[in-house]
Amino acid sequence: MLDYQAPLRDMQFILEELAGLERIGELPGCEDALPDLVSAVLEEAGKFAAGVLAPLNPVGDQQGCRLKGERVVTPEGWQAAYDQFREAGWIGLSLPPEHGGQGLPKLVSSPVWEMWFSANMAFAMLPQLNVGQTEALTIAANEAQKATWLDKIVSGEWAATMNLTEPQAGSDLAATRMRAEPEGDDAYRLFGQKIFISYGEHELTPNIVHLVLARLPDAPPGVKGLSLFLVPKYLLDEQGEPGQRNDIRCIAIEHKMGIHGSPTCTLSYGDDGGALGYLVGEPHQGLATMFVMMNEARFNVGIQGLALGERAYQAALAYARERVQGRDIVTGEAGKAILTHPDVKRMLVSMRARLMAMRGLLYSAAGWFDLARHHPEAEAADKYRRYVDLLMPVAKGWCTEVGNDLCDEAIQVFGGMGFVEETGVAQLFRDARVITIYEGTTGIQANDLLGRKILREDAATLRELIADIRQTAGRLDGHEHLGDLAQPLHDLATLLDQSADWLLAHQADTAELYAGAVPLLHLLGIACGAWQMARLALAAEARRTAGDGDPDYLTGLSELARFYLATQAPQAHAHGHTLRHAGAVLSRFSEQAL
């Protein structure tokens, strides 16, 4: 079994030096995020992740979930772990205090979620849904609904789900067919089938609150005709407790390549007269609210990329330190661990460099999220909101792609032992394969980035971001220890500018343009990673010069940045070349020649 230890030192360094923990703690509403409290939270979470959740990860994989009639049986230990998790108050960590949450900033909850996903992603998907649903209901539900449902969702007494997909409506929600018929008093009867519903049915909680996209009888076609409904598994009795079973059935669970511990359900609504549900927000405005929940989910899936990569890295590093094989290529000495082989070392350094780049980007984005929500000045808040919007598809799309690469590389470090299931790294690889797919595939993220986030505003926010990157590059110019990093970072900024110019100049050639969406997403991801790594190196050198911290650790961070630029920056330039040159070939390529 794989061990897991929360990488507290790395997390703390990035929270403090890159994501501005101190500044976030000064924002109105974030005053609880004091350094000591944050450290204590991270340490406790690390213990829970390592001690309770991580040992259950292989159990979930091996046992999976079973459908018995219409009941879903989750793996052994899931119930006890969920009860402990809920009782410890972890679900409400970043949720509104008025509903029982602790109201800590997203910057603090992000590393904690990283730990849950590293330890046991299939398990952590369950409470993650409560967070997203709370965000959505907070924005769109009326006061009575909030009073009825939110406390129990924030505490985790009841579980939550998100019901979007139907067999004919996956990436394209416009094709949604589920219908809702009025039943008086804000109540509706729902009819139809939803698929791919994570934790759509289970008995870990006495109730499950489904948020469901459906069409009212007078709905216009397309996504502008989607309304959002809250549909509980059990209707509430007069005391507000789960009473009569609603007309929802789990008719199948998927047999998946990974995340076996998380039941993926097909739910049938209304086979027996209609499932009773309540409209959330205005009619036909459901998609916007669902997007709040989905954006929360997308950011968290980006964190899953980091988290699985971290777990895979820890496993690979431990194996590489322990496994003796071959001779030292320089000294010829036998009996050395494989970590001494240059190619194995290359894989591990490369993994760690990309982990730090992802962590830098994701935690920074979490900080921007808090700044957007809490910054007292509207203009500053707006800038951070635009940063979050621009980079959400990168956080999701790029970090999940990189997370997959890291799990793949970890198997390579294990060699043949990586391909057998007993070492556990194969599970990480199989689990990771879903993250570039669910909550919007990489292609969907890339289209969102290109169309809604860049072209729609003539790349305005992207240009602001590029200016920030240039400013960091400027701090490297002539730097005593890091001067060699300046030019590659300047070059990436220039590449981004040229790419933006190219995109704006080719807006008329839609097919050619969108053929470059995924290369663009990779390019921007790598460039943002390089920016964060440069900031990391600057912070590490500053601390080292000030004698503040372990000099080996700090020098290691600078070298990681150097390695990142030597290996990843050329990839960004390659993606830039592809962006500019492949679309034209592709758009005239005949489908018949495939």
Nearer to a second copy, 467 or 566 (CB): 566
With respect to a second copy, which residue has the nearer C-beta, 329 or 542?
329
Residue closer to a second copy by CB (options 239, 592) is: 592
In angstroms, what is the C-alpha Rg of the chain? 24
Q: Which of 142, 152, 226, 137 is nearest to 190 (CA)?
A: 226
Structure tokens at 159: 């579980």
Concatenated DSSP letters of 520-565: HHHHHHHHHHHHHHHHHHHHHHHHHHTT-S-HHHHHHHHHHHHHHH
What gap in Å lies between CA 324 and CA 347, rounded to an integer?
17
**One of 439, 457, 464, 512 is an active-site residue; which one?**
439
Q: How far apart are CA 375 and CA 527, in angstroms?
A: 27
User: Pairing relation of β-strands 159-163 and 208-214?
Assistant: parallel
The CB-of-208 to a second copy minimum distance in angstroms stands at: 21
The 3-state DSSP class for residue 411 equals helix
- What the block records as the tokens of 525 is 């991801």
> Rounded to whole angstroms, what are the CA distances from 137 to 6, 92, 124?
32, 14, 20
Closest approach of a second copy to the CB of residue 571, in Å: 5
Tell me which amino acid residue 89 is. Answer: G
Our CB check for a second copy shows the closer of 261 and 418 to be: 418
CB contact at 8 A, 432 and 403: yes
Q: Which is nearer to a second copy, 371 or 557 (CB)?
A: 557
- Within 8 A by CB and 6+ apart from 284, the residues are 216, 219, 220, 224, 225, 226, 227
Which residues on neighbouring strands pair with residue 324, listed in sequence order?
337
The Cα 160–Cα 197 span in angstroms is 11
d(CA 387, CA 396): 14
d(CA 12, CA 25): 14
Nearer to a second copy, 80 or 324 (CB): 324
Decide if 430 contacts 258 (C-beta within 8 A).
Answer: yes
- Which amino acid is present at 448? D
Helices (H), 323-377: 342-374
Closest distance to a second copy from the beta carbon of 347 (Å) = 8
Q: Which is nearer to a second copy, 370 or 541 (CB)?
A: 541
Q: Which is nearer to a second copy, 388 or 413 (CB)?
A: 413
Q: Judge contact between 186 and 282, C-beta under 8 A.
A: no
Shortest distance, CB of residue 217 to a second copy, whole angstroms? 22
**Residue 379 a catalytic site member:** no
d(CA 236, CA 248): 15
Residues constituting the chain = 594
Residue type, 97: P
Active site residues: 439
